[in-house]
């Protein structure tokens, strides 16, 4: 060691001490203990599970009473759109219409039955109607026999009764709903020709003017 006059008797120079740099070395008692890592609890089945509500578009609209008028020349009205929504849960229909006698009126009734078959699980349809004379009855009797057989093949019973005093028109559903159409099932205009749009799809056919009332009866039949 070399001494210089300035550092004589200066212990800090003659015997310097070194500060620890904080680096842990094996066997060094002054080293800090390693930090403990926080433990994360695994997910448990008791944690709440978020529920997903179905979109509003998928919810069935609530059925309500309706009272409206179909204007002359309007389109967009069919047996499916008027009666269809109210067939849910139905097993039997009671149709009163005194004018199911001409060929096009019977065809309308066939279309009505097709709508019922497509949109419901109805097993019985009762039709109460009337005829002016025996000749009219004979003319449509075969048509009704063919329709009765066709429905029977689909496990649906068609029962037809005559009431000479019948005038009003209504459809009573055994789930409690009643549909009254002023003109009955015959509220469509005759097409100008049989090759125009609306001949087969009644939703595209122009209508005659009539009132429609849909309401709940006191008790389901």
pLDDT tens for each residue of 176-201: 999 999 999 999 999 999 999 999 99
Taking only the tens place, the pLDDT of each residue in 102-116 is 999 999 999 999 999
Confidence (pLDDT) at 50: 58
Confidence (pLDDT) at 97: 97
- Beta-carbon-side half-sphere exposure of residue 19 (alpha carbons within 13 Å): 2
Task: Identify the burial level of 160 via C-beta atoms within 10 angstroms of its C-beta, where 0-12 means exposed, 13-18 middle and 19 or more buried.
Answer: middle
CB atoms within 10 A of CB 50: 4
CATH fit for domain 63-216, picks 3.30.870.30, 3.60.60.10, 3.40.50.700, 3.40.50.720: 3.30.870.30
């Amino acid at each position: 060691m070399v001494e210089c006059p300035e550092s004589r008797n200066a212990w800090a120079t003659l015997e310097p001490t070194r500060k620890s740099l904080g680096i842990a070395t094996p066997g060094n008692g002054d080293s800090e203990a390693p930090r403990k890592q926080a433990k994360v609890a695994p997910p448990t089945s008791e944690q709440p599970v978020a529920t997903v509500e179905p979109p509003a578009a998928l919810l069935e609209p609530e059925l309500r009473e309706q009272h409206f008028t179909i204007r002359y020349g309007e389109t967009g009205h069919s047996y499916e759109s008027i009666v269809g929504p109210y067939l849910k849960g139905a097993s039997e229909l009671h149709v009163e219409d005194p004018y199911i006698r001409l060929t096009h009126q019977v065809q309308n009734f066939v279309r009505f039955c097709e709508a019922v078959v497509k949109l419901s699980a109805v097993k019985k349809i009762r039709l109460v109607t009337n005829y002016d004379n025996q000749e009219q009855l004979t003319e449509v009797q075969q048509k009704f026999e063919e329709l009765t057989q066709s429905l029977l093949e689909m496990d649906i019973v068609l029962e037809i009764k005559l009431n000479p005093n019948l005038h009003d028109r209504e459809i009573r559903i055994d789930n409690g709903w009643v549909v009254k159409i002023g003109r009955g099932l015959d509220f469509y205009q005759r097409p100008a020709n049989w090759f125009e749009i609306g001949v087969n799809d009644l939703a595209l056919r122009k209508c005659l003017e009539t009132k429609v009332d849909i309401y709940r009866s006191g008790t389901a039949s």
